């Protein structure tokens, strides 16, 4: 039994008290004395040349402090890209400049052209309407394939084409893969789209820049998942502010899902404008602005093929994907369709040969970057749809085809043909668990019951693998990352025994303040209430890389374990001195140090007090104080996996799909807080089901966003999601981090879309609509109806 608030306990989230009572402190709650407000004038055309900007009338409007254009940023750098992909010919990707305000051209609807800073936001907005901008419209580049055609209009005049890179992986395997297809007994192929999504966190982005001229100190308060990364990118590459003169604070953040990883123009703008104007400058995104300025997710078009031998063993996978980069490279954009996607194409299967080709394309649309799962949902969707299609074409059970090709428990560690090595897993176990929880055996009876009401019932399966705990720095460095991906922690033990933990991870819904405290409480044996978790402020936390890629517990938690162990080691030495014993003989249990085999002991606070009031203390050997910092760099990714089952009812008259049951059997390794893990899976499932059934970000051929508000962009709501069965009892602990944890934040969003689509196809096939082999997401009623009637 886990003890109260220790590892394994479903401790209630301590942060929820302030969130649920309206007392969270979000960036928009920060209002500084003398604060001015900025409004961005954004392009309403997708592509055009700016022939003139006249700001005179706007400058003269009431309350206006200054109107900025790109001319004001002549000495600033562009927003940097944090990952350089090398193409299959050994050349670096094409990397255009991403200016803070449009220089010469606008490249997507929403591209900021000018910025008005005024006493109030309404004044700034009024003045923005008075700016006269002449734009000579150019042909918009929207469709990815058309963008790569000879003679296509270029998004960036100074690049050779709209191709960012043409990436092949594993390039050396290409011929062998093609040969496998030549000799295959069966080839199954599928063309699919992974729909473009808008993250839509509940809290829109906000930035407040502040400048103290007396200390030449810049402060940026921002809605970020990784304040240190923003400090590094903005300080070093955009505004040339050294770290010691720049503080970045990301206070409570209301959800990110990836969209708040990146360094955005508005952050650099507010930081810079605060210095120019010597006044704090604030920007709060409206929801409408978020749709056209937050990085979008997904947007892949893929052809995937699977070669099988006569016994239905997978021989090879071959893919060709077009990945939309949008108009500029967002911070981590190039890595998503490549290293976070190609390396996952083995899935849970022993496919010996894999070749992935990705063409990343610039278009006149909002930049696209990581969104919950980032690359891994795209990989999983392709594999799990294709395996399902293969089973149907071969006339075999989709569960058995999967089992036959699964990597077996005894095969671990397993070297995939796509670079990564899976440390542990047991895919048969999660599949068994899911089928048991789903009462798969009773499906046929439930189907008959639906049929009697004129409804089609279907059951869909997906089994996923993901690479989390991002990531070994030396490895990602070789792959083009311009950053390390370790994590940091400082444990400051206070004199009376309470503990302040400073982590480089950032919590924006994940519940770190609770889970991280559970870890430290468990290790030391003190009450969790005596531990406070601090995060999100570069002025008091060690350099950390932040939260994304399901890395916080696996990497950030490991850093906390390391630092806590350092604290315990030192504390034992102090205890040994106090107890007149050797440090090796000291044991820490339940917050008490004792000499093994004796009844001599001193409690935790006795030791901490001695550390800070070192009267009786080995000062020659040991420094006073009890505070340790650790950096943890993982030696491998972690590989959560799981089996998802989705049971739906489909109304053939309208095409509407209702999800009746959803079962997630995940292997996340060890679990620190089961309740929080369940919540993370629920959220991931909601987003994955949202992608599968509802969400779709659509541009027309002029580059206007058709789904630019919640009137047309369908978010999942409570009544779309009737409840989930979530299980994480299948545990193969991670072999290379101290907690044996794998990460759970993205799994739901990765594994659910193919399960939902497979369920829909299953329902249609069982009802005889066998001509429907695929429907692109989202499976809206209209699309499903059209597919049935095609």
Partner 1 sequence: MHNFEFVKPSTVADAVAVLANAEAQPFAGGQTLIPSMKARLNAPEILVSLTGIAEMNGVRRDGGALVVGATTTHAAVARDAASHFPALAALAGQIGDPAVRTRGTLGGSLANNDPSACYPAAVLGTGATIVTNAREIAADDYFQGMFTTALDEGEIITSVRFPIPEKAAYAKFLQPASRFALTGVFVAKYASGVRVAVTGASEGGVFRWAEAEAALSSGFDADSIGRLSHPSDGMIADLHGTAEYRAHLVRVMTQRAVRAAH
- Which residue lies nearer to partner 1 by CB, 163 or 779? 779
Q: Which is nearer to partner 1, 16 or 653 (CB)?
A: 653
For 666-688, the DSSP string reads EE-BS-S-HHHHHHHHHHHHHHH
The DSSP code for 719 is G
Which of 68, 221, 713, 724 binds partner 1 (CB under 8 A)? It is: 713
Site string for partner 1, 259-298 (x = CB under 8 A): -----------------------------x----------
Residues 249 and 368: their CA atoms lie apart, in Å, by 25
Of 707, 732, 737, 752, the residue at the interface with partner 1 (CB under 8 A) is 707
Measured from the CB atom, the residue of 613 and 715 that comes closer to partner 1 is 715
CB of 288 to partner 1, least distance (A): 7
Measure the CA–CA gap between 318 and 8, rounded to whole angstroms.
42
**Of residues 431-490, those binding partner 1 (CB under 8 A):** none
Name the residue nearer to partner 1 (CB basis): 85 or 692: 692
Buried b (16+ CB within 10 A) or exposed e, 196-228: bbbbbbebbbbbbbbbeeeeeebbbbbbbbbbb
487: its two tokens: 């994590």
Give the one residue of 714, 735, 740, 776 binding partner 1; rule: CB under 8 A.
Answer: 714
Residue 722 near partner 1 by CB under 8 A: no
Question: How far is Cα 551 from Cα 545, in angstroms, rounded to an integer?
Answer: 10
Pairing of strands 296-297, 368-369: parallel
Q: Among residues 696 and 732, whose Cβ is nearest to partner 1? A: 696
Q: Does 191 bind partner 1 (CB under 8 A)?
A: no
Q: DSSP secondary structure string, 126-159?
A: HHHHT-EEEEEE------HHHHTSTTPPPSSTTS
The region of 20-28, 289-297, 617-625, 710-718 touching partner 1 under the rule CB under 8 A is 710-718
Cα gap 631→490, rounded to integer Å: 9
* Residues in 303-322 that interact with partner 1 by CB under 8 A: none
SS3 283: strand
Q: Which of 185, 590, 715, 723 binds partner 1 (CB under 8 A)?
A: 715
Query: Smallest gap, in angstroms, from Cβ of residue 235 to partner 1?
Result: 36
Nearest to 736 by CA among 335, 519, 420, 345: 420
Which backbone phi and psi does 371 adopt, to 5 degrees?
-140, 135
Helix, strand or coil, per DSSP, at residue 626? coil
CB of 297 to partner 1, least distance (A): 18
For partner 1, give the closer residue by CB, 180 or 198.
Answer: 198
Could you give the 3-state DSSP secondary structure of residue 119? coil
Return the bridge partners of 641, or none. 465, 667
Q: Which of 145, 701, 706, 723 binds partner 1 (CB under 8 A)?
A: 706
- Only segment of 65-73, 322-330, 505-513, 780-788 that touches partner 1 (CB under 8 A): 780-788
- Minimum CB–partner distance for residue 776 and partner 1 (Å): 14
The answer to whether the beta carbons of residues 685 and 752 sit under 8 Å apart is yes
310, 441, 445, 711: which one binds partner 1 (CB under 8 A): 711
Q: Which is nearer to partner 1, 353 or 686 (CB)?
A: 686
Torsional sign, CA 766, 771, 777, 783: negative
> Site for partner 1 (CB under 8 A): how many residues?
23
Of residues 289 and 388, the one with the C-beta less far from partner 1? 289
CB of 758 to partner 1, least distance (A): 21
The answer to whether the beta carbons of residues 519 and 670 sit under 8 Å apart is no
Q: What is the CA radius of gyration of the chain?
A: 27
Residues from 635 through 654 that contact partner 1 (CB under 8 A): 653-654
Distance CA(562)–CA(739), nearest Å, equals: 10
Q: Say how far apart CA 642 and CA 465 lie, in whole Å.
A: 7
Q: Using the minimum distance from each CB to partner 1, give the nearer residue, 89 or 710.
A: 710
Outline where 453-511 has alpha helix (H).
473-478
Using the contact rule CB under 8 A, the part of the chain among 371-379, 473-481, 634-642, 782-790 near partner 1 is: 782-790
Which helix (H) or strand (E) is 304 found in, with range? Answer: strand 300-308
What is the phi/psi pair of residue 72, to 5°? -75, -10
In this chain, which of 178, 313, 670, 780 binds partner 1, going by CB under 8 A?
A: 780
Residue 171: strand, helix, or coil:
helix
Task: Return the closest-CA partner of residue 470 out of 376, 543, 389, 380.
Answer: 376
The only residue of 57, 149, 185, 782 in contact with partner 1, by rule CB under 8 A:
782
Choose between 133 and 677: whose C-beta lies nearer to partner 1.
Answer: 133
- The count of residues in the chain is 790
- Written as six digits, the tokens of 32 are 């500084």
**C-beta of residue 344 within 8 angstroms of C-beta of residue 382:** no
Cβ proximity of 641 and 608 under 8 Å: no
Q: How far is the CB of 715 from partner 1 (least distance, A)?
A: 8
* Minimal distance, residue 312 CB to partner 1, in Å: 38
Q: Which is nearer to partner 1, 159 or 694 (CB)?
A: 694
- Comparing CB distances to partner 1, the nearer of 198 and 437 is 198
Of 675-704, binders to partner 1 (CB under 8 A) are: 693-694, 696, 698
Residues 122-161: x where in contact with partner 1 by CB under 8 A, - otherwise, as a string: x--x------------------------------------
φ, ψ dihedrals at 316, nearest 5°: -160, 155
Binding of partner 1 by 236 (CB under 8 A): no
Name which position in 2, 8, 525, 781 contacts partner 1 (CB under 8 A). Answer: 781
Per CB under 8 A, the segment of 319-327, 355-363, 681-689, 705-713 that binds partner 1 is 705-713
Mask for 89-128, x = binds partner 1 (CB under 8 A): ---------------------------------x--x---
Positions in the binding site for partner 1 (CB under 8 A) = 122, 125, 288, 653-654, 656, 693-694, 696, 698, 706-707, 710-715, 780-782, 785-786
């Amino acid at each position: 039994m886990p003890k109260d608030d220790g590892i394994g306990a479903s401790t209630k989230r301590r942060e929820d008290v302030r969130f649920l009572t309206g007392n969270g402190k979000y960036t928009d709650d920060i209002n500084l004395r003398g604060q001015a407000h900025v409004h961005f004038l954004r392009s309403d055309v997708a592509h055009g040349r700016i022939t003139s900007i006249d700001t005179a009338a706007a400058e003269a409007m009431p309350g206006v402090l200054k109107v900025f254009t790109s001319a004001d940023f002549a000495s600033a750098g562009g927003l940097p890209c944090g990952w350089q992909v090398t193409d299959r010919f050994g050349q670096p990707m094409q990397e255009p400049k991403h200016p803070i305000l449009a220089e010469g051209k606008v490249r997507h609807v929403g591209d900021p052209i000018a910025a008005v800073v005024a006493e109030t936001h309404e004044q700034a907005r009024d003045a923005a309407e008075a700016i006269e901008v002449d734009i000579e419209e150019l042909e918009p580049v929207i469709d990815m394939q058309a963008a790569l055609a000879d003679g296509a209009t270029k998004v960036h005049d100074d690049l050779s084409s709209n191709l960012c890179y043409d990436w092949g992986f594993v390039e050396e395997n290409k011929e062998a893969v093609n040969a496998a297809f030549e000799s295959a007994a069966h080839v199954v192929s599928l063309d699919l789209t992974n729909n473009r999504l808008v993250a839509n966190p509940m809290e829109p982005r906000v930035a407040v820049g502040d400048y103290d001229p007396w200390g030449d100190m810049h402060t940026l308060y921002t809605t970020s998942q990784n304040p240190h990364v923003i400090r590094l990118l903005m300080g070093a590459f955009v505004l040339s502010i050294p770290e010691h003169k720049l503080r970045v604070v990301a206070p409570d953040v209301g959800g990110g899902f990836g969209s708040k990883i990146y360094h955005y123009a508005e952050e650099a703008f507010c930081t810079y404008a605060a210095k120019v104007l010597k006044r704090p400058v604030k920007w709060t995104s409206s929801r409408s602005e978020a749709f056209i300025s937050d990085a979008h997710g997904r947007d892949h078009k893929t052809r995937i093929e699977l070669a099988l031998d006569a016994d239905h063993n997978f021989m090879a996978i071959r893919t060709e994907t077009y990945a939309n980069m949008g108009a500029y490279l967002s911070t981590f954009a190039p890595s998503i369709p490549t290293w976070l996607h190609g390396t996952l194409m083995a899935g849970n299967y022993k496919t010996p040969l894999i070749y992935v080709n990705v063409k990343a394309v610039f278009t006149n649309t909002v930049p696209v970057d990581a969104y919950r799962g980032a690359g891994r949902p795209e990989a999983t969707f392709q594999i799990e749809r294709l395996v399902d299609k293969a089973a149907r074409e071969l006339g075999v059970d989709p569960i058995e085809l999967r089992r036959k090709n699964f990597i077996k428990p005894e095969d671990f560690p397993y070297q995939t043909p796509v670079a990564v090595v899976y440390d542990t897993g047991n895919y048969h176990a999660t599949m068994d668990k899911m089928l048991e929880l789903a009462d798969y055996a009773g499906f046929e009876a439930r189907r008959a019951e639906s049929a009697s009401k004129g409804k089609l019932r279907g059951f869909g399966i997906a089994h996923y693998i993901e690479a989390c705990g991002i990531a070994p720095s030396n490895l990602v460095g070789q792959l083009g990352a311009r950053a390390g991906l370790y994590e940091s922690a400082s444990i400051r033990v206070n004199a009376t025994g309470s503990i302040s933990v400073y982590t480089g991870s950032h919590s924006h819904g994940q519940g770190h303040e609770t889970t991280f405290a559970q870890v430290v409480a468990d290790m030391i044996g003190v009450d969790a209430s005596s531990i406070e978790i601090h995060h999100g402020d570069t002025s008091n936390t060690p350099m950390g890389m932040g939260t994304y890629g399901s890395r916080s517990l696996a990497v950030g938690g490991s850093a906390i374990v390391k630092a806590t162990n350092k604290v315990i080691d030192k504390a034992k030495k102090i205890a040994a001195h106090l107890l007149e014993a050797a440090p090796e003989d000291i044991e820490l249990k339940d917050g008490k140090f004792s000499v093994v085999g004796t009844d001599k002991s001193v409690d935790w606070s006795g030791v901490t007090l001695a550390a800070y009031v070192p009267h009786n203390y080995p000062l020659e050997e040991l420094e006073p104080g009890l505070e340790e910092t650790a950096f943890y760099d993982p030696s491998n990714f972690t590989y959560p996996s799981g089996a998802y089952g989705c049971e739906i009812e489909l109304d053939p008259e309208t095409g509407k799909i209702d999800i009746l049951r959803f079962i997630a059997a995940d292997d996340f390794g060890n679990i620190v807080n089961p309740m929080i893990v369940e919540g993370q899976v629920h959220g991931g499932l909601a987003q994955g089901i949202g992608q599968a059934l509802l969400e779709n970000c659509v541009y027309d051929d002029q580059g206007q966003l058709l789904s630019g508000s919640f009137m047309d962009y369908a978010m999942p709501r409570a009544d779309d999601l009737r409840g989930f069965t979530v299980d994480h009892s299948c545990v193969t602990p991670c072999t290379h981090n101290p907690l044996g944890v794998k990460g759970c934040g993205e799994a739901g969003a990765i594994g659910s879309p193919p399960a939902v689509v497979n369920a829909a196809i299953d329902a249609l096939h069982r009802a005889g609509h066998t001509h429907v082999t695929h429907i692109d997401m989202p499976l809206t009623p209209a699309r499903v109806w059209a597919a049935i009637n095609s």
